């Protein structure tokens, strides 16, 4: 699945995988198991996302109708290697974190 298409429980699941946040008592589950056991999209707050933005040095912008989050990593030409869009800044950041960990696709 493309990271840019992740939403709802799948976005939450992969974000928790990328940031090593686990649902208490569930351990490591597949996406299907996560949804089956009640994984539902949480409303992540700035209190949770803010430290990740700071730690991962993620930039945000709202140039048009969607938010854009990007992350610079060691790259000789200095261009952002991970850029993701989202309807909200938090969704854009979550997708950017996932892409920086797993690439443009997750399985």
Per-residue pLDDT tens, the chain, 107 aa: give them.
Answer: 999 999 888 888 888 888 876 554 555 677 787 777 666 556 677 888 899 999 888 999 998 889 999 987 766 666 667 889 999 999 999 999 999 988 899 98
Q: How many CB atoms lie within 10 A of CB 104?
A: 11
Rg (CA), the chain: 14
CA distance readout (Å), 73 to 35, 57, 78, 84: 32, 9, 8, 15
Q: CA 53 to CA 78: how far, in whole Å?
A: 19
User: What are the beta bridge partners of residue 70?
Assistant: 59, 83
Q: How many CB atoms lie within 10 A of CB 89?
A: 19
């Amino acid at each position: 699945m493309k990271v840019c298409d992740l939403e709802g429980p799948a976005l939450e699941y992969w974000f928790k995988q990328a940031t090593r946040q686990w649902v208490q008592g569930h351990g490591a589950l597949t996406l299907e198991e996560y949804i089956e056991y009640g994984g539902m999209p949480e409303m992540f707050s700035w209190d949770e996302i803010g430290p990740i933005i700071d730690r991962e040095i993620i930039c945000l912008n709202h140039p048009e109708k969607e938010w854009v989050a990007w992350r610079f990593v060691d790259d000789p030409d200095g261009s952002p290697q991970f850029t993701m869009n989202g309807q909200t800044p938090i969704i854009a950041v979550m997708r950017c974190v996932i892409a920086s960990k797993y690439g443009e696709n997750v399985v």
